[in-house]
Structures are given as C-alpha cells and as structure tokens.
Amino acid sequence: MTEVITKFTRTVPHWQPRVKPVDLKDASADQLAALQVTPSNTKISEYVLTLAHDVESLQVRSPLFNAIMYDRGGMSRAERELGALAASMVNHCIYCAAVHAARHADLEKSTDVTDKLFRDGAQAELDPRDRAIFDFAVALSETPSQAGPQHLAALLKAGLDEAEILDLILSSALFGWANRLMHVLGEPVRPPKTVG
C-alpha cells in the first residue's frame, strides 16, 4: 500500500496519477514530438506523460513555465519560488509545495523560511519583504483574488520595484495553474518501503 501524504514537507514525494498516463508505445507522432522522445531520452515522468493527453497545452505550457520561473532579470529566483509556495499552500498542493520549498531552501542556502511556514502556517514570522511577498501571493491565489491596494502598498513599502512585482504576479498565478494539474490529476505518496 502506498501512503498518501497530507502534511506539508520539503521531502519531495512520489506523484501518483489518478488517470492513466500516455503509454509511449501508443503515443502519436505529435505526442512523441512534444515529449521530445529520442532513443537516448525515454525516461519521462508520469506527470508529463499524463499531460501528454492534451499535447497542444503541454507544448505551450513548458516554455511558459520556464520563462516565468527562470528568465533573467526582475525578481530573484528564490522570491519567485516563495510566490509559488504561497499559491501551493493555499491550494494545499503538497507535491508542488515540497518541490518549491526545497528549491527555495537550495537557492537561499537556508531552510529557515520554509521551516517556519510549514511549522507555523501562513502566519509564520517572516522578515518584512518575505511577509509582503507571501501575503500578496496568498491573496492572489484565493478565488476570486483577494489581492488589493493594501497588498500592493506593502510590496512597495518593502522595496519591490515594478519588474519584481510583475514577476511575483506571474509566478504565483502560474501556480494557480500548476496546482490545478498536480493536485487534481494525482496525489503525493510515499512509495512502499522495500522489504529486505
């Protein structure tokens, strides 16, 4: 039996799909092209194989995801990860939260912020800049968005410029998207322990 993980963790779980991923043996030419399958690259995650059911979306989503999270300039990568984490906490996407908390900790070379958020929740004690970023991303992630002028004012007071604020909007909004795939189409599990 696999155990479904229900608490936030930085240890990245295994993602178990609730639908049957595309089987490479049955994949269409378009699916193989989108998956960039080559004789030397046949190891593709179950998540990507699941999304390959909608190949036109998969083709546009991957480069957009990379541009929002990794393109140069604007907000730091760690702060974009904090926006992603805030959205994932609102939507309770355990898998996304784990991946992006781990990336935040790597980039910051510190687990301090994500330890506090996972231990104390959204009200964890953060420095003023992280507080403003996290609160904005949480408010934007509610449905409908609850982000208002007071959230923007807090970002400006914390010293964020326009390019950084735009990147925060994009990265937290992107996880409104990612969470609705990861959290809906599958679940985070701890693989069964090997009996030995």
Q: Contact residues for another protein (CB under 8 A)?
A: 18-20, 50-51, 53-57, 59-61, 63-64, 67-68, 71-74, 90-93, 140-141, 143-145, 147-149, 151-153, 156, 161-163, 165-170, 172-174, 176-181, 183-185, 187
Rounded CA gap, 153 and 147, in Å? 11
Q: Which is nearer to another protein, 111 or 131 (CB)?
A: 131
The label of the residue with tokens 């089987």 reads 23
Q: Which is nearer to another protein, 19 or 33 (CB)?
A: 19
Q: Which is nearer to another protein, 112 or 162 (CB)?
A: 162
Q: Which is nearer to another protein, 126 or 170 (CB)?
A: 170
Rounded CA gap, 4 and 49, in Å? 21
Compute φ and ψ for 39, nearest 5 degrees: -55, -25
Q: How far is the CB of 90 from another protein (least distance, A)?
A: 7
**Can you say how many angstroms the Cα of residue 20 is from the centroid of all Cα atoms in its chain?**
22
Q: How far is the CB of 104 from another protein (least distance, A)?
A: 20
**DSSP 3-state of 110:** coil
**E strand segments, the chain:** 3-4, 14-17, 186-190
Q: Which is nearer to another protein, 92 or 110 (CB)?
A: 92
Q: How far is the CB of 161 from another protein (least distance, A)?
A: 6
Q: How far is the CB of 194 from another protein (least distance, A)?
A: 25
Q: How far is the CB of 40 from another protein (least distance, A)?
A: 27
Question: In terms of Cα–Cα distance, which of 77, 67, 75 is closest to 164?
Answer: 75
Give how far Cα 94 sits from Cα of 48, 174, 188, Å: 18, 16, 7
